[in-house]
Amino acid sequence: MGKTALVLAGGGSRGSYELGVWQALREMDIGIDIVTGTSIGAINGSLITQGDYETAVALWDKIETSHVFDVQIDEQQNVRQKVVQTYRTFVRNFIKHGGTGSNPLKETLSSYFDEEKIRSSPIDYGVVTMEMDSRKPHELYKNEMPKGKMIDYILASASIYPAIKPYLIDGIRYIDGAYYDNLPVKMALARGATNIIAVDLEAFGVVKKEELRLARQVKLIRSYWDLGPTLVFDRMTIRRNIRLGYLDTLKAYGAYDGHAYTFICGFAKKLTQDFSKKAEEAGILLHNTTDKNSMLDKMFWGRITKFLVERGVTETNTSNIALVCAEVAGETFGLSSEKIYSQDIWLKRLKKEVDAVQIPDKLKGSTDNKQGILDTLRDTTTLFNKRVRTKYAALVIKEILKTQDTQKLLTNVTIMPDAFFGGAYLVLQNLV
């Protein structure tokens, strides 16, 4: 079996996503032998090593920006306002004091941190930090940290200079480990890990992706969705991120289907079967429907492949195309990423949102006008929102399919892949 390591990236408030990952791993009874982390990953890792899940939940439930940094912030503001206020404080404090203090974080963490539990835990634990002046990295396991100073090395790992002041330990200034390795897989491998569960928050910092290939088995867990600002701790964003981390981990282990969204098992298989049959009948979005040697076809499949890669899908096949079409439609029409969907519920909610979108008068009646369709579509990319573009694209696809003008369809998909992926799904599912 080998050893299993949980590797936790840094990313400030995005670290709430890692709590959701831990929640799912606990429910699936997946044992962890090693935890390595950087910055917020080091903080979360300490609680995981302690085995104190409820303590971690309590911490993330109560934490606010003022509990982490020496800033005064109005928690009643929206996220955008909080970001502006917080970053202005960072700039002002850097100019005046060389950075913002993190004493509140030490006080907050001290209430939840238990060094003795960590040292006696069967789980090995390590953090990454860096000396500011010499740029010397430090990859420290729990047995290498002097007694009574473990919390200091964890806080040093989370001192993201220049926003935060360097952390002083024995006269040496330390800064955030993200400057050296924000996803410390190497530390886990050095401790004998063969199975890696790596949680990438896609935040600031160095990620040494080549090290992921050295492990025997790797599960890389990351969110399709933006996890929000890293240095502002907003309650609603935190709760959303916990949910996304939980769902993404369950999907990574096959408990649910989906990439951006979460579907009950069997959704993807049925979607692929239905989509494949209907797409073949309609003559769209399948390899065997076009002349693969034509320049247009090469452009078409090149654009589709690029669009799939942008959404985290590396293999171009019918199953992935079908799923991306469904998820693009869901994203366009604002379906929640925090729900678990059956096919019936998914289609019902999507239909409701699609029906609510009104096509502007200037576009009505133009879908069957061969001349000028592309010009009209180009206009919609700037004049109207994505929902209008996608619904209109669906109507265009329906008209094109009546004439079997595949060349025009390929051109349209190449120009506006997001609208036509979503639009194709609406057509093939009879939602328009």
pLDDT tens readout for residues 120-139 = 999 999 999 999 999 999 99
Based on the fold, state whether residues 228 and 269 are members of the same structural domain. Answer: no
Q: Which of 102-111, 196-205, 230-239, 414-423 has the lowest mean pLDDT?
A: 414-423
308 close to 321: Cβ distance less than 8 angstroms: yes
DSSP string, 355-389: HTPPPPGGGTT-TT-STTHHHHHHHHHHHS-HHHH
> Nearest Cα to 430, choosing from 405, 377, 386, 394?
394
Q: Say how far apart CA 186 and CA 101 lie, in whole Å.
A: 30
Based on the fold, state whether residues 306 and 196 are members of the same structural domain. Answer: no
Q: Say how far apart CA 241 and CA 19 lie, in whole Å.
A: 9
The larger pLDDT score, comparing residue 360 to residue 431, is at 431
148-172: per-residue pLDDT in tens? 999 999 999 999 999 999 999 999 9
Based on the fold, state whether residues 249 and 292 are members of the same structural domain. Answer: no
Q: Which of 3-17, 32-46, 250-264, 379-393 has the lowest mean pLDDT?
A: 379-393
Based on the fold, state whether residues 24 and 173 are members of the same structural domain. Answer: yes
If pLDDT is split at 50, 70 and 90, which confidence band does 290 have? very low
List the beta bridge partners of residue 36: 7, 126
Based on the fold, state whether residues 156 and 215 are members of the same structural domain. Answer: yes
Domain boundary among 205, 234, 253: 253
- What residues contact residue 302 under an 8 Å CB cut-off, 6+ apart? none
Based on the fold, state whether residues 216 and 284 are members of the same structural domain. Answer: no
The CA distances from residue 164 to 11, 111, 202, in Å, are 14, 21, 20
Active-site residue flag, 134: no
In this prediction, residue 288 carries a pLDDT of 44
Which one from 114, 176, 181, 234 is the annotated catalytic residue? 176
Active-site residue flag, 39: yes
How much of the chain is in helix, strand and coil states, percent to nearest 5? 55, 10, 35
Q: Is pLDDT at 65 greater than 70 in this prediction?
A: yes
The CA distances from residue 244 to 16, 29, 225, 248, in Å, are 10, 19, 8, 6
Q: What percent of the chain has pLDDT over 70?
A: 86
Question: What is the number of structural domains in the chain?
Answer: 2
**DSSP-assigned letter for residue 240:** H
If pLDDT is split at 50, 70 and 90, which confidence band does 385 have? confident
Q: Say how far apart CA 277 and CA 271 lie, in whole Å.
A: 10
329 close to 424: Cβ distance less than 8 angstroms: no
Q: Say how far apart CA 429 and CA 284 lie, in whole Å.
A: 14
Q: What percent of the chain has pLDDT over 90?
A: 56
Domain boundary among 253, 279, 296: 253
Based on the fold, state whether residues 158 and 75 are members of the same structural domain. Answer: yes
Domain boundary among 236, 253, 270: 253
Q: Is pLDDT at 209 greater than 80 in this prediction?
A: yes
Gap between the terminal Cα atoms of the chain: 51
Q: Is pLDDT at 352 greater than 90 in this prediction?
A: yes
> Which SS3 state, helix, strand or coil, does residue 285 take?
coil
In this prediction, residue 86 carries a pLDDT of 83
> Which SS3 state, helix, strand or coil, does residue 218 take?
strand
Based on the fold, state whether residues 57 and 93 are members of the same structural domain. Answer: yes
Based on the fold, state whether residues 283 and 235 are members of the same structural domain. Answer: no
Domain that holds residue 165: 3-253
**DSSP-assigned letter for residue 59:** H
**50, amino acid identity:** Q
296, with CB counted inside 10 A (0-12, 13-18, 19+), is middle
Based on the fold, state whether residues 53 and 129 are members of the same structural domain. Answer: yes
Q: State the average pLDDT for the chain.
A: 86
Across 7-34, average pLDDT: 97
- What residues contact residue 86 under an 8 Å CB cut-off, 6+ apart? 65, 69, 71, 73, 231, 232
If pLDDT is split at 50, 70 and 90, which confidence band does 88 have? confident
Based on the fold, state whether residues 159 and 218 are members of the same structural domain. Answer: yes
Based on the fold, state whether residues 317 and 414 are members of the same structural domain. Answer: yes
Segment (H or E) for 38: strand 34-38
The CA distances from residue 236 to 16, 21, 61, 332, in Å, are 11, 18, 10, 22
Strands (E), 164-322: 167-169, 172-176, 193-199, 217-221, 262-263
Across 369-382, average pLDDT: 52
In this prediction, residue 225 carries a pLDDT of 96
In this prediction, residue 382 carries a pLDDT of 47
Across 341-345, average pLDDT: 95
Q: Is pLDDT at 24 greater than 70 in this prediction?
A: yes
297-338: per-residue pLDDT in tens? 566 667 777 777 877 777 777 788 889 899 999 999 999 999
Q: What is the CATH number of the domain that holds 225?
A: 3.40.1090.10
Which one from 13, 16, 39, 102 is the annotated catalytic residue? 39
Q: Is pLDDT at 351 greater than 50 in this prediction?
A: yes
In this prediction, residue 314 carries a pLDDT of 72
